[in-house]
Amino acid sequence: MKFLVSSDDLIKNLQVLRGVINNNNTIPVLDNFLFELNGNQLKITASDVETTMTANMEVESSDSGKFLLPAKLLFETVKSLPTQPLTFMFDEDHRMEIVTGSGKYRFSYMDADDYPTPVEMEEAESITIPSGVLSEAIGKTIFAAGTDDLRPAMTGILFELSPEKMNFVATDAHKLVKYERADLKAPGESEFIMPKKPLQILKNYLSGVEEEVQIDYDDRNARFTFGGMELLSRLINGKYPPYRSVIPTDNPNVLIIDRQKFLDAVKRISIFANQATHLIRLEIAGTELKIFAEDLDFSNQGEERLSCNYQGDDIEIGFNSKFLIEMLSNLESDEVSLNMSLPSRAALIHPEDGLEEGEKITMLVMPLMIK
């Protein structure tokens, strides 16, 4: 049994699929890629049980078969080769040989009998989203998802689907991001929570790709199909927290400021903040914003003043500088607004420009107590 394939096409697919495989698998068979050859069609699968991803590609062959190839060894071998056709040859003694124009590389393969079979989704609902929009939604929210395994629902991204719009939400209880698209609609009301790992794989692949992504979902799984790729993920089981109740609606104090200048100033001042709390203080009065931080343990202190457009009462409020930097860095607008009510209540960040029609971004950050 053998097949001929382009090294460029193969490494492109293996590069994406290897992101699914864990470094320390408890199931040894998952350290392998599953190859399924059916004439001139080759399907390659990688899985960690929770997430399964497949790539379909054309090869030159008239044979059929299923076999497992060691993922790390195969990837490193193909990655090191220059662009050229590769011939894969298999014998009955479980030995596989890659033949190039100048060399031969031999290693063992395994039977595919013990490889897990992907679940079937028989009664799934389906929607279609442009790849750029899905990539943007993931990129704008994934950094805000939590890491606490005791609250699994908050470690993923909530997909809220309705006939009016789609929302993508992530929170770790200290910060929250809600990405809304009024130009995307679903047949009915539904929601599910996607884990971060498969979404990060999707984001990396879809960046710069222009195609439609079909999403099929039921109560347990979601499947993303695009081009010759398919990603199947088990959903996070649990109820997402009622995030709408923590988003303040009355925010009379509004600061509008150049995003990049604000971001650069926060980065500089954060150097002088206490490295345990990362606390920086914003003092806003009239048209001036003062950004201040100090670390009493080392007698370090930093202060900057920026011009701004501000409407509201004079206010002094503290934030974790790391959260502000993350949020401002994930926006592309020229200006942002910081909407506040009291120093003890959450503040909202909105981009003031650069949004597409139907697009809305709300970022919430909880304040820190100022001593």
pLDDT tens digits along 196-232: 999 999 999 998 788 899 999 999 999 999 989 999 9
Residue 270 has pLDDT above 90, yes or no: yes
Residue 371 has pLDDT above 80, yes or no: no
Lowest mean pLDDT among 134-143, 190-199, 201-210: 201-210
Determine the pLDDT at residue 210: 86
Reported confidence tier of residue 129, pLDDT bands at 50, 70, 90: very high
Same CATH fold, 125-242 and 2-108? yes
Over residues 9-22, the mean pLDDT reads: 95
Reported confidence tier of residue 127, pLDDT bands at 50, 70, 90: very high
Over residues 321-327, the mean pLDDT reads: 98
> 148: buried, middle or exposed (CB in 10 Å: 19+, 13-18, 0-12)?
exposed
Over residues 24-46, the mean pLDDT reads: 95
Name the residue ranges covered by the structural domains of the chain: 2-108, 125-242, 247-365
Determine the pLDDT at residue 119: 86
Handedness of CA 199, 204, 207, 208 (dihedral sign): negative
Alpha-helical runs (H) found in 105-191: 131-141
Over residues 178-186, the mean pLDDT reads: 95
Read off the pTM.
0.93
Nearby residues of 111 by Cβ (< 8 Å), 6 or more positions away = 66, 67, 68, 94
Contact 89, 99 (CB under 8 A): yes
Nearest-angstrom CA–CA distance, 134 and 214: 11
Reported confidence tier of residue 319, pLDDT bands at 50, 70, 90: very high
Over residues 132-139, the mean pLDDT reads: 95
Over residues 136-159, the mean pLDDT reads: 96
Residue 74 has pLDDT above 90, yes or no: yes
Contact 266, 325 (CB under 8 A): yes
Nearby residues of 310 by Cβ (< 8 Å), 6 or more positions away = 253, 254, 255, 256, 284, 285, 286, 287, 289
- The 10s digit of each residue's pLDDT in 99-112 is 998 999 999 999 99
Nearest-angstrom CA–CA distance, 29 and 34: 10
Helix, strand or coil, per DSSP, at residue 45:
strand
Give the percent of the chain with pLDDT over 90: 91
Mean pLDDT of the residues in the chain: 95
CATH number 3.10.150.10 given to 247-365? yes
Helix, strand or coil, per DSSP, at residue 124:
coil
* CA 160 to the chain's CA centroid: 16
- Listed residue (367, 250, 247, 256) closest to 311, CA to CA: 256
Q: How far is CA 107 from each of CA 59, 71, 259, rounded to the nearest angstrom? A: 21, 12, 54
Reported confidence tier of residue 120, pLDDT bands at 50, 70, 90: confident
Instruction: Spell out the CATH class of 125-242.
Output: alpha beta
Residue 282 has pLDDT above 90, yes or no: yes
Determine the pLDDT at residue 297: 87
Nearest-angstrom CA–CA distance, 199 and 254: 34
CATH number 3.20.20.20 given to 2-108? no
> 169: buried, middle or exposed (CB in 10 Å: 19+, 13-18, 0-12)?
buried
